[in-house]
């Protein structure tokens, strides 16, 4: 077996195929780990974005309360009664402050959800990479197995598979006319000239005489 170049080539091909599949499987695992790490970082960033939005909204509310308090103090020092128009003004200020705070929280939620979606996509890509690695490994192992089977046939370790119909088909292949006697009779009845088949007459003489050949 060692002296058969075809056998050695097939064994080498099988080994390379298996090694390639193992490498692809390892690469798939590594890519999935990287994708999962990216997804974890993106989820962490999403939580930070949500917390920052809530913190900024709280600061906006506190700042708004201080401004409203200063407005009340100004009205009081000016002798303005906190009723009617001053109340409406302070109420609008409070509403504006709360609207700004809610807008900040909403923006943070959108950013956070975007990062969560990116994390899910990273995890999905990791699963795809893992699946591709496993699929390529399985395909490589199958290809290596086929090469090894070929090496077995080439080296003689695996005996050739005999055709179970060979004995039955041999007489037909060697002598069709002997296996089918009517075939030989039919061939002798028809002249080999293509003119006969084309015109229906046995020969040019028969054609001129008007005698059509009828087998």
Q: What is the pLDDT of residues 196-211, one digit of tens each?
A: 444 444 444 544 444 4
> What DSSP line would sit under the chain, residue for residue?
-TT-HHHHHHHHHHHHHHHHHHHHHHHHHHHHHHHHHHHHHHHHHHHHHHHHHHHHHHHHHHHHHHHHHHHHHHHHHTT--SSSHHHHHHHHHHHHHHHHHHHHHHHHHHHHHHHHHHHHHHHHHHHHHHHHHHHHHHHHHHHHHHHHHHHHHHHTSSPPPPPTTHHHHHHHHH-HHHHSHHHHHHHHHS-S-HHHHHHS-SSHHHHHHT-----
Residues of the chain below pLDDT 50: 1-2, 183-184, 187-190, 192-204, 206-215
Determine the pLDDT at residue 207. Answer: 46
Determine the pLDDT at residue 198. Answer: 45
165-177 residue pLDDT tens: 656 555 555 555 5
119-146 residue pLDDT tens: 999 999 999 999 999 898 888 888 888 8
Determine the pLDDT at residue 11. Answer: 81
């Amino acid at each position: 077996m060692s002296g058969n170049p075809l056998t050695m080539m097939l064994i080498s091909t099988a080994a390379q195929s298996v090694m390639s599949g193992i490498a692809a499987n390892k690469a798939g695992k590594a890519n999935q780990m990287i994708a999962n790490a990216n997804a974890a970082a993106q989820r962490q960033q999403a939580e930070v974005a949500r917390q920052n939005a809530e913190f900024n909204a709280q600061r906006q509310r506190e700042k708004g309360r201080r401004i409203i308090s200063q407005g009340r103090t100004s009205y009081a020092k000016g002798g303005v009664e906190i009723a009617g128009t001053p109340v409406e003004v302070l109420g609008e200020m409070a509403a504006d402050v709360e609207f700004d705070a809610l807008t900040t929280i909403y923006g943070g939620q959108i950013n956070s959800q975007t990062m969560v979606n990116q994390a899910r996509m990273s995890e999905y890509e990791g699963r795809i990479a893992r699946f591709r690695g496993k699929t390529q490994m399985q395909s490589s192992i199958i290809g290596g197995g086929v090469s090894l089977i070929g090496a077995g046939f080439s080296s003689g370790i695996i005996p050739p598979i005999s055709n179970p119909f060979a004995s039955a088909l041999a007489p037909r292949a060697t002598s069709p006319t002997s296996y089918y006697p009517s075939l030989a009779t039919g061939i002798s009845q028809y002249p080999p000239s293509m003119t006969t088949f084309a015109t229906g007459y046995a020969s040019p003489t028969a054609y001129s005489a008007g005698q059509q050949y009828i087998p």
